Amino acid sequence: MSNQWPPLPPISTGLRGLCPQCGQGHLFDGFLTVKPKCEVCGLDYSFADPADGPAFFVICFTCVPAVAVACWIEVVYSPSIWVHLFTSLPLVLLACLLPLRPLKGWLINSQFFFKAEEGKIDHDYVRPKL
């Protein structure tokens, strides 16, 4: 069935949360829950396992800078807790939540595109002598 679909770039389909095979069906059921299969082409999404990848990237590249900005605001201005409640808290929450879904979609689409699978040990491999 996958021969009838041209390969789609994972960045364009993944960031939009679309099926990695057809690019038309939806990948998510809710915010981060992956659907069992595509409603358009029927691709089984059981291969999808981005593990902690999306959370790792979000923590490293968006949450740390957002917390650094909140700390900078505290050190430079020493505002009351209300200022942090209306500036730092929304900044950190948005920095944590907004990129999660697109990153998870991109990682799942990349798994499909590059045919990523669990590593296997080849017991028949003979190491060449040097």
Q: How high is the pLDDT of residue 129?
A: 82
Across the 130 residues of the chain, what is the mean pLDDT of every consecutive 10-residue run?
Answer: 80 96 96 96 94 94 95 96 95 96 97 90 80
| CB atoms near residue 79 (< 10 Å) | 14
Q: How high is the pLDDT of residue 1?
A: 47
Angstrom distance (rounded) from CA 21 to CA 7: 7
**pTM tops 0.95:** no
Q: How high is the pLDDT of residue 20?
A: 97
